Structure 1
Amino acid sequence: MQGASVSFHVIRNPDLPPVDELEKISWGIVFRSNYIVMLQVFPGADVPEWVNWQDKFQKRVHVFNITTLKIDNLTLEDTGLYRARDSYTRGRQYDQDFHLTVYEPLPLPQIRTTNLSITPGWCNVTVQCDAPGTREDLTMSWESRGLPRELEQREATGPAPNPWTLALSLPLSQPNASLTCVLRNQVDQTTATLDLGDICGHTDPQGQSDADHLPGILVTVVVLLLILGAGLFLWRRGVKKSLEPGRGAGSQEEHRDPMMASTLQS
């Protein structure tokens, strides 16, 4: 992976006679079918002898026990075909090739949901797992937890499209189920998990979701508002009548008994 290290180790050809001794190893890169020597290592020497690419590799390349080459802090440009050429006494030479591919660290996958619908006992949803950035040598798979076996069998692995889509009909009786999108390449793995209970909502014992109760809740609210409005209207009308002229305390004079009025005048 980018930023990591890699080691190449040369193995002596088992067909070589014991009398043939290793004289040197040349490390290089095969570029467009041409072998270009990078450095040479000799038995007993403390440091390698550089031939090419010293500025690019000297601070990152280390040679151990003459037969092992290590490259630190790998970059994407280090990808390529490396070759070790072993030179023995009596003029024998053998090549060993090392194919190196440097990968970027995988980004975290992103899960999105679309086409959500709730039917009696079921949650229908489409999930999409997307991998931003590079897709070279990338595979994607779904892993599930708490789903019926027939749904688990629908899991698949393959090259990642953009994005990878999975349509599901999930039983509402599995509130703790989850789906995990897994991205992999040769050296790294990242995951993202979706809790299906957060998407499909919680259910009551009869299997009804919160969305099933919404119409009844709205009707109840409307009825309460109408009752409250009617009561407020009647109360304001009664207050208005009590304040009209000729009513209240003044109106009591007009309704007294005429005989009582004559007695009071006399």
Structure 2
Amino acid sequence: MTEHIIETVTILLAVTSIISEGKPDIPLPVHGIITQSVDLSLPVTPEGSGLEIYWTYQTSILAVYTNNRLKIINDKFMKRLETPDNGATLRINNLRKEDGGIYTVTISDTDGKVYETSYNLTVYDPVPSPVIQTEVMEDTTDRCNVTLHCSVPSITSDLSYTWKYRQGGSEYHLYNNGSTIQISLRNDSRDTEYLCIVHNPADQKNVSYTVQHICPHLVTSSQSKGGKRHHYDLLAILVLLVPLIALLFLIMKKRKSEKRKEEQLQEPKEEPKELQYATPQFQRSEGQRAEPEDKEIEQNGAIVYSTLVHHAV
């Protein structure tokens, strides 16, 4: 017990002598969230085995980092401090609201140089998830005036409200600040999305709302107009396509006719058949003399001409 007291007094005297050499800079603002962690990073990278780092909280000794080991002095932070990155960062875990205040780090290297920086830590409650309430002020066939009110379910201080909007898949644009806004919607606003961002310096949450949820009749009207516009687009396309299809049909017909003529020219011509002549045959009957008489006789597909003459005996 006595050794612990002597060591603490020695550290306190060392820190006091170092701090007295110069005034600390303006404290750097640091924000943390209850139950989460926050890092206090050193202004320089610590190097050398003889490096000594002293941390103070408000007016009391917090911890000392020397010989690559962190020694926690303040019992309030016991088991909640660690030094990742070889002492280059002091991490405070499981933050509490009362952890807020001024933290000062004093670094003494082997060359006798001293660096000192202060941090002003503020610990905030996490931001609750917000909700949007709507109130329709005026609702006509082509316009809808609405009030959007953004709020959180619990009472939390240090909250700010910011509204953004976007249309379709575009980027968000700043609309207004404050928890309540008034908007006037028209038929061309059906794709508009309004985003409420609730934030404090350490945390933020958001919720969005679209026209489909506020004024559904605007969506229907706009979609109807969109349907008519689509119908007109189809008619315009058909007007352009019909002459093109007719032209293609004429070209194909002309090519087919030319091809048919070309095939007819390439077909071989049939030679005319020669006429065949048969020798007349005479047949005598008893008591008669037969002579040929002009008569057409068809034999074997050829035309045979003969003349038969009959004389009485």
- TM tier relative to shorter chain: 0.5 to 0.7
Given residue 186 of structure 2, which amino acid in structure 1 is its aligned partner?
Answer: P
Change (3 A) 1:74 1:154: closer
CA distance in 2, matches of 1:97, 1:153: 37
CA distance in 1, matches of 2:50, 2:142: 75
The answer on whether the counterparts of 1:10 and 1:67 sit within 8 Å (CA) in structure 2 is yes
CA distance in 1, matches of 2:197, 2:62: 39
CA distance in 2, matches of 1:200, 1:41: 62
Given residue 57 of structure 1, which amino acid in structure 2 is its aligned partner?
Answer: F
Given residue 123 of structure 1, which amino acid in structure 2 is its aligned partner?
Answer: C
Q: What residue is the counterpart of 1:9 in the other structure?
A: 41
Q: What residue is the counterpart of 2:127 in the other structure?
A: 106
Question: Structure 1 residue 2: deviation in Å?
Answer: 2.2
1:216-231, aligned counterparts within 5 Å?
none
Once the two structures are superposed, residues 118-160 of structure 1 have per-residue CA deviations (whole angstroms, 9 ceiling, x without a partner) of 1241001111112342231x3322122338x9xx977124xx5
Q: What residue is the counterpart of 1:135 in the other structure?
A: 157
Given residue 127 of structure 2, which amino acid in structure 1 is its aligned partner?
Answer: L
The answer on whether the counterparts of 1:120 and 1:207 sit within 8 Å (CA) in structure 2 is no
Once the two structures are superposed, residues 162-185 of structure 1 have per-residue CA deviations (whole angstroms, 9 ceiling, x without a partner) of xx2211211034334332211223
Q: What residue is the counterpart of 2:116 in the other structure?
A: 95
Given residue 10 of structure 1, which amino acid in structure 2 is its aligned partner?
Answer: L
The answer on whether the counterparts of 2:63 and 2:70 sit within 8 Å (CA) in structure 1 is no
The answer on whether the counterparts of 2:136 and 2:144 sit within 8 Å (CA) in structure 1 is no
Q: What residue is the counterpart of 1:180 in the other structure?
A: 195
CA distance in 1, matches of 2:89, 2:52: 12
Tell whether 2:99 aligns with 1:75. Answer: no
Question: Structure 1 residue 21: deviation in Å?
Answer: 8.1
The answer on whether the counterparts of 2:80 and 2:92 sit within 8 Å (CA) in structure 1 is yes
Tell whether 2:210 aligns with 1:195. Answer: yes
Bigger-Rg structure (1/2): 2
Q: Taking CA–CA contacts closer than 8 Å with sequence separation of 6 or more, which of the two structures ends up with the larger relative contact order?
A: 1
Given residue 107 of structure 1, which amino acid in structure 2 is its aligned partner?
Answer: P
CA distance in 1, matches of 2:174, 2:107: 52
CA distance in 2, matches of 1:179, 1:10: 41
Tell whether 2:185 aligns with 1:165. Answer: no
Q: What residue is the counterpart of 2:259 in the other structure?
A: none
Change (3 A) 1:197 1:107: same
Change (3 A) 1:39 1:196: same
2:65 to 41, 58, 75: 41
Structure 1 gap ranges (5+): 209-266
CA distance in 2, matches of 1:37, 1:206: 68
Q: Percent identity?
A: 28
TM normalised by structure 1 equals: 0.58
RMSD: 3.4
CA distance in 1, matches of 2:64, 2:40: 14
Equivalenced residue count is 187
CA distance in 1, matches of 2:90, 2:100: 15
Once the two structures are superposed, residues 200-254 of structure 1 have per-residue CA deviations (whole angstroms, 9 ceiling, x without a partner) of 122555999xxxxxxxxxxxxxxxxxxxxxxxxxxxxxxxxxxxxxxxxxxxxxx
User: SS in structure 1 opposite 2:180?
Assistant: strand
User: SS in structure 1 opposite 2:132?
Assistant: strand
CA distance in 2, matches of 1:144, 1:206: 19
1:228-239, aligned counterparts within 5 Å?
none
Q: What residue is the counterpart of 1:236 in the other structure?
A: none
CA distance in 1, matches of 2:42, 2:173: 45
Q: What residue is the counterpart of 2:57 in the other structure?
A: 29
Structure 2 gap ranges (5+): 1-32, 225-313
CA distance in 2, matches of 1:80, 1:120: 58
